[in-house]
Structure 1
Amino acid sequence: MIAIQTRCDGIFMGHAIVSKFDISCYMALQLSESLLELKRFDGPNIMSRYLYLYHTKRYDFGETMKVVYQNLKDKTKNYPGHSSVCREDFLFDQLIIDETVKLTDKKLGGYTAGCGPVHRSFPLALCPWIDDDNLFNISKNEATLTHFNPLAGQVAGIVNLICRSLLKNNTWHDAVQSAFLTPSLHTELSDVCYRYSRWSTPSKTTHPAYAPTVLQEALHYVTISNNIAEVIEKVKINRNVYCLPIVGVLSGALWGIPLDMYKDKTNDVQLKTIRDTANKLSQQWISQCESVNA
């Protein structure tokens, strides 16, 4: 049995190491900070953190997030004065966010079923105050902060359910199968459930960042591997970089991350921040378990 702390640390570390500290790492940290501070899901608060991160750092967020930002930045009272803008200036009402996301989807021709939300939303699975029954819907709500197409949120929800199940020491098979029992899944996800243990590729040609495609590849390679190093090697051979962050998350939840994968980075400031955040969330789980068992 793997300890909760090892799995929480593994999820964050796997994500960071495999994605090479890409933008989704910073977004996941912003999401974590909001969750730890408020002890609940607050869409506008989280979105303000994403937008401010993009405004100040200019990381490559992907086309969908870029368009959302462009549509919202002019609504901040202090824009374009870079030095005078603070995070609270990006705190928009949920209705404004929803309207902007719809406009973005229209501008992009409906192509907002990308994997961005599944890359960043795994901290939701690590919050014990989010009930198992609510995790899938909250994952979908997080996705709709930027992506209008429901597939983006459903894929994020499936990955987060798998992580939650693994945290509770369920087997990989049981964790995956139970996640796909979620009601009202899109038919494309039913196809993923059928194919992932047999083939790495979907039944039709899609963009490599398309969320169901990324999910199928990640599930396939984790399923047929014995450790994270083996998974990474197989994904690299396939050359779909979009599934790497998810592979890191799922592998970290399943096996934990061995020290030799990051021993040369033990003093890295970024890595320390990530591990501190993972520890804070794992302590929430430990405290809850102690309360239940008291």
Structure 2
Amino acid sequence: MLIDDSIISAVTGHMNGDHADDNLLIARAFGYPLAASSRMVTLDAHHGEWRVTDAAGEHELVLDWPGGEIVERAQFRREAVSLYREACRRLGVTPREEHAPSPHATARHGGGHPHEAAHAPAHGGAPGHGHHGTAEDSADDSFARRLREATWGDHGDSEGATFMTDVIRGKGTLDDYIALVVQHYFMYEALEEASRQLLDDPMLAVLHPGSLLRMDTLERDLRHLRGDDWRNGLSAVPATADYARRIREVADEGWTAGIIAHHYTRYLGDLSGGR
């Protein structure tokens, strides 16, 4: 695959912005046990590169992707997770819940740790710290894992977009943030109308508790940000209008699975940081 600057920026930005602790864990597990800081600086189809700092100075740490050459963008997340989980195993750290080993995974090396595999040399850092065939592989075929992998490229594109990066990192202007809240207003207006259908089924109502509802909060925010006449001039950009229109189409069709899919995507991304 062609790995251009936009992909490198999206992946490294995500790792350094959202997973700084993971970078440090990886550095300490793969050659620099006293690392004080670690940043991912670049990557290609075969390995990732980190800049590590410890008491002895600054070092380059290059680690092969555990699963071999990357041919699809979605694989970057899988390989980063593999390195993280192997780092946890080496350091005796319990992985975060979303990256915990699958309970269905089985040992592949004669009764050893279910995610152990043969070691291969890493480039830079201490020799012999590459790791192949670990963690995030076909042994965990859960729906959550497949969904994360399938949407990783879109997730990276969103995080790599200049507008969202500026807002998330506090570099955007107040007007930028207000514009984002306005678009959320139109998104959630459509979504919460559609999601009322879930309340008709006791088994589905649990997916849409009152604590999730955002419209009242969005209206209060907009009144604070735009004044008492906050509705004046309020409009959705074309992409938001199309998005809201699609949600309403799904609801009009009575397609429950489609409503749940939109509900999951919106609330997961905005309220749980994608986790």
In our comparison, the structure showing a higher alpha carbon Rg is: 2
Higher relative contact order (CA 8 A, sep 6+): 1
With normalisation by structure 2, the TM-score equals 0.32
Give the number of the structure whose residues are more often helix, by fraction: 1
